[in-house]
Chain A
């Protein structure tokens, strides 16, 4: 069957759309924090949470009992609960009449379970009867037609057919299907972990799999006739269309069905979704795969399993047969459904099991006649019991018994509606506590202007972990600190020394255009080793002007010779690699653009290398037998710059046809030709930043944080990262703004630009006058130990060396003080008076202890995002919970910098916040569960046990403490310090941010420094509110920063 082009494209489009709610999954080497409900962000938060429950079966809020505990600990605001209950009551008259306020508050704070229980066959009459102690009715609550209708409602057309079979026949097809598909994923997506390599992977997921599956004896022995399905079409789109038609699924629900199929394994699906669009990702370029492949395989396996069951056990094999079964045998289907969904009454389970096994209609009818009244009674009683319990707790035991049936029905409806939206109420109460505490600490009045410049200015990442050390630095010395997204606003793609791939050092919403190479300063020694053992390939490269700048791998990557080192000289490569890993040599970054001559020279050198290799390969002639001139001439011939016989052909007696064949081979197979050379030049053109770009990035970075004058002698750019052993989640602790990598490279890149005299000259023309004695110095903040190490000191001017010791001891002191503060959160039992030196030593230990499951708390407890000048937060202990983005509205009259901050750093902050939120409220579904059961899969992610979906989100050790949330799951409170209209215009100017605020994914407050007023976005509008004072926070509010005991 050949599918028409348009239909095939439409199916691709449907799969793309169906996958939108599924969050991307990035390989964990660079952990990207991500909102698991990112695909639903166009909905209001409560609605998205509800949809998330339907799609991913994850809870969007903590269980009530957890909130009750947080309330007892003072981490929740009781007044807000009461206010919200009163608001809810206003819309619920029946509850008001029965003393609703007390009742609902009691329900929330004292009853652990929901009061409204599930009823399938009992009605309010049964509940009232049970409440009033009337004897139960022995009538069946409904006829079999109604039962049949209900069953049809359980299995709509968009629900996969095997789910119906599993629930009616206990076939467990879904489970088998997941297992088979996971095995396929583990084989295909392996990135070098497994010893066995799946054959044919380069042809793509679907093709490779179908080739294997056609011959797979194991599948055949299970009775799965996969071949019969695969012959129907060559393409995955064709297979999908064939199977959905075979199953009798109407086309208007295909997309909904695909959503359900894909969300079954949203980890793998999210990974494939990301991978299929990742640019320059080695593994996807080598072994392509997309969700259409994945879906086609899933459907093939599903259909084969369904057919096998249908054939052997006479089950429905398509939608029409399922419909017919329900119509013909509704009573049996109902009992089956009860039995296999686990809803069956324990007292009747045995009888039901027997009767459905035998399947005799008369017996089934007899059992059903007994079962339904019993079920009805049980449901009525359970509901009555729950109501009575609540009434008892509220101190009015007869509350529900006195209601007539009509009122009871309304009360039950209203209670159900209230409990359904209860999560938001708890959430808002929790957020209110934090909001009052945080806002109460802010200081609106700017300090007196400084007379002299500070000893050092330090730029830190906005990351919440910078807050403590910034505060400590400012406390102990003359340091002025700033917060800026850790990639310093410069999107860089890095080829690191010894790395076989490009790393994007910027938020994932940006694709870097410029490439930076890391090169060893003392490269000769290492390179010589490698070159000598890979002589044939690399001999000539040594003579290239730029050879010291290029690592072998960088060349491979730039020019499309993948893994050149690994294939050509594996042993030398490994030695070299080991050297690099065991003690990273000192390196420089290539930040400046190559000149045209330099780029030409690199291309020429590379072509000559390739020609030497080609001669060896094609004729077996060694390098020593040919001369440089011959090589040059061959190159010219291949590039069509040379006519007539070449010296090479002459010397080795090649016929004219053999010569021209060889030239063609060079052009076609070895890619020595004009257009390829042009492409190589273009690729080299990606290296580095032009002077204009450099000036732009430095100016943008400095303006965005409001640092445009009074530059210190040291302007320290601090990148950050984490250091821990045996931790697949290490990258989750690195810099989110750098795409989950360390931030040091970004710091070095900006320092290089900022120190360049020509850049400074141009900046001066723009009004940013950086004095000659100001030096941009990169540094690295290790967030596990809080150590700050200075880098590129060999470039530091002599005039600055005398100040170095003062700088270092200042950093050391701040490190120790921060460590002492942080130790209390990691080891709450520690003596709070423990001196800072000892505390720092204990903290240091975590960086090398491979048994440590929690080397640092990372970004846990993040809760706020403050955009404004430092004086707002200076000298205030924010307990490492706020992102701090420096911003001075006075240097941003058009609001463009603010828009950039909102779309970049704030959006990344929101992802981090939401990842923590959902991992904390439902660690099993949205988080990745306990690290203790994790196994690394395919070198790209973790699975639980031997076979599971890829685990997404954060492990329990990151967000929970003794099984309860350590991270407060609340939405990010964003504070913007700027005139109200200025800030509001910026928010409205960026549709993404506007929608995040309007839909309640971030909470937003504008602090207007010119009027001293506070504006908060509540219920769809901006409201002016009083600024909470620090006094209120200190006396009335419980301490929100307390650590759970």
Chain B
């Protein structure tokens, strides 16, 4: 494993309503995040009760998760950016430590 030359990064997992996807990805783009993965139709339980993630004809109402790997110095600005949003809307952001082998894909 040591030969892989792993570099530390932070992983953000942002869960919010599908309606706000464009807002969230725009914010990440402007923060300089180089890529992200989006998962739709989430199921799960939170303060709003159980959310069922089956296919429906209204994508605004489903929960989505945006996953991004970012350098540590971007975490705070991104969280600051999301503050006014999460003051009103439900959703969560998880931050965790991760390691990647090809740093160039995430930074620079």
Binding site for B on A (CB under 8 A): 4-10, 12-14, 16-17, 20, 255, 277, 485, 489, 491, 506-507, 509-511, 896, 899-900, 903-905, 907, 989-992
Contacts and interface: CB of A to CB of B under 8 A. Distances in A.
Nearest to A508: B60
A510 B59 contact: yes
B57 A13 contact: no
A6 B76 contact: yes
Judged by DSSP, the binding face of A is helix
Contacts of A489: 57
Nearest to A254: B84
Contact of B59 (A13, A14, A509): A509
Contacts of A905: 57
Contacts of B49: 991
Contact of A13 (B51, B52, B83): B83
A511 B85 CA distance: 23
B58 A10 contact: no
A294 to B, nearest CB: 15
Interface string B57-92: 111110000000000001011111111110110000
A13 B61 contact: no
Nearest to B50: A989
A13 B31 contact: no
B84 A17 contact: yes
A5 B77 contact: yes
B47 to A, nearest CB: 12
Contact of B58 (A5, A509, A989): A509
A903 B60 CA distance: 10
A903 B85 contact: no
A17 B88 contact: yes
Contacts of B27: 9, 12-13
A896 B83 CA distance: 35
A8 B88 CA distance: 19
Contacts of B48: 991
B57 A510 contact: yes
A507 B74 CA distance: 37
Contact of A509 (B22, B60, B79, B87): B60
Contacts of A7: 80
A509 B54 CA distance: 16
A12 B32 CA distance: 14
A991 to B, nearest CB: 6
B105 interface: no
Contacts of A896: 54
Given A10-B81, A13-B27, A989 B52 contact: yes
B1 interface: no
B73 to A, nearest CB: 9
A899 B82 CA distance: 31
Contacts, number: 87
B30 interface: yes
B56 interface: yes
Interface of B: 22-23, 26-27, 30-32, 48-49, 51-52, 54, 56-61, 74, 76-85, 87-88
A904 B83 CA distance: 31
Contact of B85 (A17, A899, A900, A992): A17
A268 B83 CA distance: 27
Given A6-B81, A9-B27, A10-B81, A903 B52 contact: no
Contacts of A511: 59
Contacts of A903: 56-58, 61
Contacts of A510: 57-59
A7 B76 CA distance: 10
B52 to A, nearest CB: 6
Contacts of A507: 57-58
Most buried by B among A13, A510, A900, A989: A13
Contacts of B30: 8-9, 12
Contacts of A16: 23, 84-85
Contacts of B54: 896
Nearest to A904: B57
Contacts of B56: 899-900, 903-904, 990
B50 to A, nearest CB: 9
A450 to B, nearest CB: 30
Given A5-B77, A10-B83, A900-B56, 18 more contacts: A6-B81, A7-B80, A10-B80, A10-B84, A12-B26, A13-B27, A13-B85, A14-B84, A16-B84, A277-B22, A506-B57, A507-B57, A903-B61, A907-B58, A989-B52, A992-B58, A992-B60, A992-B61
Contacts of B79: 6
B40 to A, nearest CB: 11
Nearest 9 pairs between A and B by C-beta? A9-B81, A904-B57, A6-B77, A6-B80, A903-B58, A5-B77, A277-B22, A13-B84, A509-B58
A424 B85 CA distance: 32
B80 A9 contact: yes
A373 to B, nearest CB: 47
B58 A904 contact: yes
Nearest to A993: B61
A936 to B, nearest CB: 28
A54 B9 CA distance: 46
Contacts of B32: 5
A528 B49 CA distance: 61
A991 B23 CA distance: 21
B84 A5 contact: no
A12 B29 CA distance: 12
Contacts of B76: 6
Which of A5, A277, A896, A991 has the most B CB atoms < 10 Å from its CB? A5
Contacts of A509: 57-61
A485 B84 CA distance: 37
Contacts of A4: 77
A9 B58 contact: no
Contacts of B22: 277
Given A5-B31, A989-B52, A991-B48, A13 B81 contact: yes
B71 to A, nearest CB: 12
Nearest to A277: B22
Contacts of B82: 9, 13
A10 B76 CA distance: 11
Nearest to B86: A13
A255 B84 contact: yes
A507 B30 CA distance: 30
Contacts of B57: 485, 489, 491, 506-507, 509-510, 900, 903-905
Contacts of A491: 57
Nearest to B54: A896
28 contacts: A5-B31, A5-B32, A5-B74, A5-B77, A6-B78, A6-B80, A7-B80, A9-B27, A9-B80, A10-B84, A12-B27, A12-B30, A13-B23, A13-B81, A16-B84, A16-B85, A17-B85, A17-B88, A277-B23, A485-B57, A489-B57, A507-B57, A509-B58, A903-B58, A904-B56, A904-B57, A992-B58, A992-B61
A1032 to B, nearest CB: 37
Nearest to B74: A5
Nearest to B77: A6
B61 A990 contact: yes
Nearest to A704: B57
B49 to A, nearest CB: 8
Nearest to A9: B81
B46 to A, nearest CB: 11
Contacts of A13: 23, 27, 81-85
A1024 B54 CA distance: 31
A899 B56 CA distance: 8
A501 to B, nearest CB: 19
Nearest to B83: A10
A233 to B, nearest CB: 15
A903 B17 CA distance: 14
Nearest to B48: A991
A506 B57 CA distance: 9
Of B56, B57, B77, B81, most buried by chain A (CB within 10 Å of CB) is B57
B70 to A, nearest CB: 12
A8 B76 CA distance: 12
A14 B22 CA distance: 15
